[in-house]
Amino acid sequence: MAAKLKKGDTVIVLAGRDKGKEGEIVRVMPSEGRAIVSGVNTVIRHTRRTAQSQGGRIPKEAPIDLSNLALKDPKTGEPTRVGFKVVDGNKVRYAKKSGETIDA
Mean pLDDT of the chain: 92
What was the pLDDT predicted at 97?
92
Structure letter (DSSP) for residue 73 = P
Is pLDDT of 1 > 60? no
What is the distance between the alpha carbons of residues 19 and 47, in angstroms, rounded to a whole number? 28
Instruction: Count Cβ atoms below 10 Å from residue 55 Cβ, excluding itself.
Output: 11
11-52 pLDDT tens trace: 999 999 999 999 999 999 999 999 999 999 999 999 999 999
In CATH, the number for domain 10-74 is: 2.30.30.30
Q: Return phi, psi of residue 88, to 5°.
A: 55, 40
**Cβ-contact 71, 103 below 8 angstroms:** no
What was the pLDDT predicted at 7?
94
